């Protein structure tokens, strides 16, 4: 039970934080008058962090289920 809660709690918690960060970046871009290009750069930076989290999740899954390797 503890492992399940830890695994899914972290995944759901980070997912919720990612959604909150999307709102924060949108609000930051709007308040700072970043324009379209500035907003794009902000979202690219956020997307790189999200991609890192997804890659970590995929690598962990592949290593746990490698089986015969």
In a domain, 48, yes or no: yes
In a domain, 69, yes or no: no
In a domain, 54, yes or no: yes
Nearest 10 degrees: Cα torsion 58, 61, 64, 69:
-50
pLDDT tens digits, the chain, 69 residues: what are they? 778 888 788 888 888 999 999 999 999 999 999 999 999 999 999 999 899 988 988 998 899 888 655
Q: How many residues does the chain have?
A: 69
In a domain, 44, yes or no: yes
Q: What's the whole-model pTM score?
A: 0.72
Q: Domain tally for the chain? A: 1
In a domain, 42, yes or no: yes
Indicate the helix (H) or strand (E) that contains 20.
helix 2-31
- 45 lies in which domain range? 2-64
**What local confidence, expressed as pLDDT, does residue 3 receive?**
82
In a domain, 60, yes or no: yes
| H helix intervals, 32-66 | 35-64
**What local confidence, expressed as pLDDT, does residue 68 receive?**
54
Q: How far is CA 62 from CA 26, 33, 56, 58, 69, in A?
A: 34, 42, 10, 6, 11
């Amino acid at each position: 039970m503890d492992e399940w809660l830890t695994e899914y709690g972290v995944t759901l918690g980070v997912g919720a934080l990612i959604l909150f960060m999307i709102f924060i970046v949108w609000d930051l871009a709007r308040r700072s008058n970043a324009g379209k290009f500035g907003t794009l750069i902000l979202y690219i930076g956020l997307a790189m962090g999200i991609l890192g989290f997804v890659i970590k999740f995929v690598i962990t899954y592949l290593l746990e289920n490698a089986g015969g390797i």
